[in-house]
A and B are shown apart, each in its own frame.
Chain A
Amino acid sequence: MGIPNLWRTKGQRYSLAGEICPSCSQHIFPPRDVCPHCAKPAGPIHTLSGRGEVYSYTTMYNVPQGFQEQSPYTVALVKLEEGPMVTAQLTDVENEEVAIGMKVEMVTRKLREESEEGQIVYGYKFRPRLTEAA
């Protein structure tokens, strides 16, 4: 993925910047121009809490180019507290310890290997939750 695209999408990747739909009040991630729930114009930026739980997971042994040095790793579908679901790697946990329903929280980590141009991509991953809700 090119540098301009990584720059454009840094808000959602570093801090889970999403939206709240002004028409139907649903949370949206990532930001869209049109609400996927009601098809009306999507609305103001709202940052998600980063707290959620594992909806599903897989430990991958054959990984794409650019991810070799982390292999094998576990990717999960994380259902966020506000509603949206995201695809992300799990971190700070043994692959065998992951389970559906596990409570997780967002952290920022290096997503993939350095490219030939030396570009390092950071973004969200999820780890088992350390803090309980206040």
Chain B
Amino acid sequence: MKTTPESRRGAGYRAFLAHRLSGLALAVFLPAHFLTLGLALEGAEALDRFLAFAELPLVKAAEWSLVVLLATHLGLGARLLVLELGPWRGLRIAWVGWAVGIAAVTGLAFLAVA
């Protein structure tokens, strides 16, 4: 038996996990997203079909997750860029909260307009 490392419980580690997993998910979903968009551009009829398709609840949910994933990845990535390229002022753990908050607000805003 080994105990779980305490290093896995910190906000920094969770931010890393969220950043990595959202990145991987984006790498899988974005090509699918662009593929559907590409199909939509193939003509008016195809576009109509696509718009109808985009109204399907499952597709809406997928779009919503894409937006939330993007916002999460962007926010956490911005923190990393500032940590690595900006002047050193500590780990800026509070920014993890901000990034998650911004992702949540973006997600809600998407729900409101969708």
Q: Do A and B come from one complex?
A: no
**Residues in A lying within 8 Å of B, measured CB to CB:** none
